[in-house]
Amino acid sequence: MSAIRSQQPLQPLNNGQLNARGTNITPIKSVRRHKEIPIPSADQNKQQKKKKEKLSALCKTPPSIVRTRNGRDYRRGNFLGEGGFARCFQMKDSSGQIYAAKTVAKASIKNEKTKTKLLSEIKIHKSLKHPNIVNFVDCFEDDINVYILLEICPNQSLMELLKNRKRVSEPEVRYFMVQVVGAIKYLHSRNVIHRDLKLGNIFFDPEMNLKIGDFGLASVLPSNEHKKYTICGTPNYIAPEVLGGKNTGHSFEVDIWAIGIMMYALLIGKPPFQAKDVNVIYERIKKTEYCFPEEKPISDSAKQLIKDLLSLNPLNRPTIDEVLAYEWFKGPFPDKTREVSLNETPQGLDQISRIQSKANFKNAKDMAGIYTPKTKNPVEILRSDLQSEQPKTLLPQSLSPNDTKNKYQEVDPDQLGRPRRVNFNSHFSTTIKNLNKICFETYQNIRRLEHSKHENIDTMELPDCENPTLISKWVDYSNKYGFSYQLNNDDIGVLFNDDNTILTLHNSTKFLELIYHDGEGWTCIENSLNHPPAQAKRQLEVVDFFARYMNSNLSKVSENEERKEIVFLRRYSRTPDYIMFEMTNGNFQFNFKDHHKICISKSGLAITHISPNRLTQTHPLIMVLQDGNFPAEHVPDCLKKIATIKEAIKKRAFNED
Ligand code: ADP
């Protein structure tokens, strides 16, 4: 959040800031599988044609029962598939749960570099947790093999789907792309570049959700400024800057390029730079020489996105956040991928209505974690992750701490502090999305009630009159950070200058972030104070600073209330006579300079007075209008104050500022 630019210590506040009273296709050069060799010359190419034995051939079928060092037994099942380096088998644990065991023969780990690469793959994969990434379960070894136990993806990969289907429809590809983009956004937020994204590395789980797998070429970049220089990847998917090798270097954008290749391949039926000779592929890539064949028509908006993704200059490619904003995603969008898709084109996808498509698109993004803010810490590879401790073992303790699987199962997701999207009722959603609408509704109601002042109150429908959630203390530090407030339920919030809010909940280890995403509007994410996302740490410091300040320096506006609802301050404005708070529950609070406070709730039907002595009373507005004042304690210039309130809300409703 841009509001916190300064990393300086927090500064003291001055009086004016305070409230009034207060003080996949076989890879050619993957690191382990095919050594990191430079692009072959024509002669070298001839030599290469002599087919090299794949390292995975060294992997013999594991015994029918694999026993881990800590005594757990896995029963080996069917052979699932083979890559350049590993073979994959089904494995069943004692509870009957089935996994995929990626099995690497120790005989294929011939040197330190290959070992480091394998351990780095394990470390990276083990650090990841996302709905569209193959889940890492455990890793262990016997004398012959290293086993990486993974969530099983029984429906093969996008490569097999394309082989069966020849071409895939645009609605289906839209759905696939959202899941892939969600996973890549997550990877990049954790500083991981996959570097081998291809149809054969994107698998289907039992529910037909896509899962990115094979982190054999993945790399952690310490920062956006760093680059990688190793030439690696799969010919058809290699980005032009990777071919530049030592001269250019490459970064996260290589994964964006691969999205373009996959999208093209799925829609047209083959990758854009396909040729028999790899050197021809590379020449075409370096010149971005490809076309959209007329006999395989695709929409103009699909072409536009592909063209942008396949920009020669990595910086001209859309960022991962920009991809889903492309026009193409506004087309027919299915609610999920069905198994039928594996073999044939599902019927009726083009007929999905605009409204339904929009809802499906939003839901797919939500499920792919698009709305989850960049909160994860970067993946870090430590020396201890890459060094075996004992002569005969390969896996260091840090990568297989005795029983990672049990650990994974026992940990309560809440304890891990994973961010959770909070859904609010429709009133909250309307208020947060369209403040002016609430202002308009409230203004209309106040006006209507003023006009019906002389009607018989007994014939009118009156609102419930419980006391609302109020702002009891505030500090305006918007020249630096934002506006901080304490509610009478003791929740403390800071509305930062970029309009996003952090709200720490009283008597809870949770805090909420109310965040605006371009194009998507407002989302509320619940986080744990015990595991705050890295980016929120500084903001929490700011909240804490204000909390301490308010608690020791400011007096309260009203008595404490139990939390009945979650309320945020949405907007505030100050005039010489009052400060106006617009809350996410649709309430308006006015603190007047004479220390009387008035809150309008129930869309203008109820009114609350908080006296300087903190006496709080709530009544139907019509009653106060008819009587000219509050019954329990009189408010100076009561009707004048209500008129001021009506005008202020009207101004907001008609955007008159
Ligand atoms: P390599 O590192 O050798 O390329 P991969 O990770 O690509 O190994 O796995 C090799 C093959 O094993 C894949 O092509 C696929 O057929 C199968 N496979 C890998 N992971 C899974 C999984 N989670 N579920 C089912 N099959 C898998």
Measured at the CA of 322, the angle between CA 320 and CA 325, to 5 degrees, comes to 130
State pLDDT tens for residues 276-313: 999 999 999 999 999 999 999 999 999 999 999 999 99
pLDDT class of 409 with cuts at 50, 70, 90: very low
How many angstroms from the chain centroid is the CA of residue 316?
A: 23
Residue 40 predicted with pLDDT over 50: no
| Last residue within a domain, chosen from 152, 178, 207 | 152
Which residue has a Cα nearest atom 12 of ligand 1?
81
Does residue 21 surpass a pLDDT of 70?
A: no
Which of 119, 152, 185 terminates a domain? The answer is: 152
Pocket test for ligand 1, best of 31, 214, 217 (most atoms within 8 A of CB): 214
* 556 and 478 in a common domain: yes
Using most ligand atoms within 8 A of CB, pick from 31, 53, 80 the residue to mutate for ligand 1: 80
The residue whose CA is least distant from atom 4 of ligand 1 is 83
Dihedral class, residue 178 (left if φ above 0, else alpha if ψ from -120 to 50, else beta): alpha
Give SS3 for 102. Answer: strand
Q: How confident is the model at residue 6 (pLDDT cuts 50, 70, 90)?
A: very low
User: Active-site residue 196, yes or no?
Assistant: yes
What value does the mean pLDDT take over residues 563-568? 82
What atom in ligand 1 is closest to the CA of residue 121?
Answer: 2
CA 157–ligand 1 middle distance (angstroms): 9
Which of 114, 203, 208 to probe ligand 1 with, by most ligand atoms within 8 A of CB? Answer: 203
Ligand 1 centroid from CA 159, angstroms: 12
User: Which CATH number characterizes residue 299's domain?
Assistant: 1.10.510.10
Question: Has residue 623 been placed in a domain?
Answer: yes
Cα(83) to ligand 1 centroid in Å equals 6
Looking at the fold, whether 184 and 213 belong to one and the same domain comes out as yes
CATH number at residue 103: 3.30.200.20
Contact 521, 500 (CB under 8 A): no
Query: What CATH number corresponds to the domain at position 542?
Result: 3.30.1120.30
Among 3-17, 315-329, 470-484, 636-650, the range scoring the smallest mean pLDDT is 3-17
Residue type, 602: K
Residue 18's pLDDT is what? Answer: 62
pTM, two decimals, is 0.59
Residue 397 lies in a domain: no
**Which residues constitute the domain of residue 315?**
158-367
User: What span, in angstroms and rounded, lies between the C-alpha atoms of 609 and 632?
Assistant: 10
State in Å: Cα 276 to ligand 1 middle: 25
Tens digit of each residue's pLDDT (9 = 90 or more) over 77-136: 999 988 888 999 999 988 888 999 999 998 888 888 889 999 999 999 999 999 999 999
d(CA 12, ligand 1 centre) in Å? 58
User: Which of the residue ranges 325-339, 418-432, 450-464 has the most confident prediction, judged by mean pLDDT?
Assistant: 325-339
Q: Is residue 388 part of a domain?
A: no
- Read off the pLDDT of residues 452-489 as tens digits, 9 standing for 90 and up: 888 887 777 788 888 999 999 999 988 888 999 999 98
Q: Does one domain contain both 96 and 134?
A: yes
**Ligand 1: which atom is nearest the Cα of residue 55?**
3
Give the strand order in the sheet containing 606-610.
569-574, 578-583, 588-592, 597-601, 606-610, 616-620
Is the same domain home to 330 and 477? no
Residue nearest to atom 6 of ligand 1 (CA): 214
The atom number, within ligand 1, closest to the CA of 81 reads 16
C-alpha closest to that of 415 among 539, 577, 529, 543: 529
Please report the atom of ligand 1 found closest to the CA of residue 33: 3
406 — pLDDT class (breaks 50, 70, 90): very low
For 404, other C-beta atoms within 10 Å of its C-beta total 17
Task: Give dist(CA 558, CA 545) in Å, integer.
Answer: 22
Residue 42 lies in a domain: no
Q: Is the dihedral of CA 273, 278, 280, 285 positive or negative?
A: positive
11 CA → ligand 1 middle, Å = 55
The structural domain count of the chain equals: 3
Give residue ranges with CB within 6 A of ligand 1.
56, 80-86, 88, 100, 102, 134, 150-153, 200, 203, 213-214, 216
Is the same domain home to 234 and 313? yes
In 17-133, where do the E strands start and end? 65-67, 73-82, 87-92, 98-105
**Residue 414 lies inside a defined structural domain of this protein:** no
Nearest to 218 by CA among 248, 170, 186, 240: 186
C-alpha–C-alpha distance, residues 210 and 154, integer Å: 11
Assess whether 101 and 240 both reside in one domain. Answer: no
Do the beta carbons of residue 148 and residue 134 sit within 8 Å? no
Same domain, 203 and 352: yes
Residue 413 lies inside a defined structural domain of this protein? no
- pLDDT of res. 269: 97
Are 433 and 521 in contact, with CB atoms under 8 Å apart?
A: yes
Is 350 inside any structural domain?
yes
Residue 8 lies in a domain: no
The answer to whether residues 236 and 281 touch, using CB atoms and an 8 Å cutoff, is: yes
147 & 164 share domain: no
- Rounded distance from Cα 4 to ligand 1 centre (Å): 44
Same structural domain, 141 and 207: no
Q: Is 251 in the same domain as 127?
A: no
b/e map of 321-353 (b: 16 or more CB within 10 Å)?
eebbebebbebbbbeebeeebeeeeeeebeebe
Which neighbouring-strand residues pair with 569? 583
Catalytic-role residue among 138, 196, 255, 476 = 196
**Residue pair 634/60 in contact by the 8 Å Cβ criterion:** no
Same domain, 66 and 122: yes
- Answer with the one of 367, 399, 429 that is the final residue of a domain: 367
Within this chain, do residues 178 and 109 fall inside the same structural domain, yes or no? no
Q: Which atom of ligand 1 is nearest to the CA of 84?
A: 3
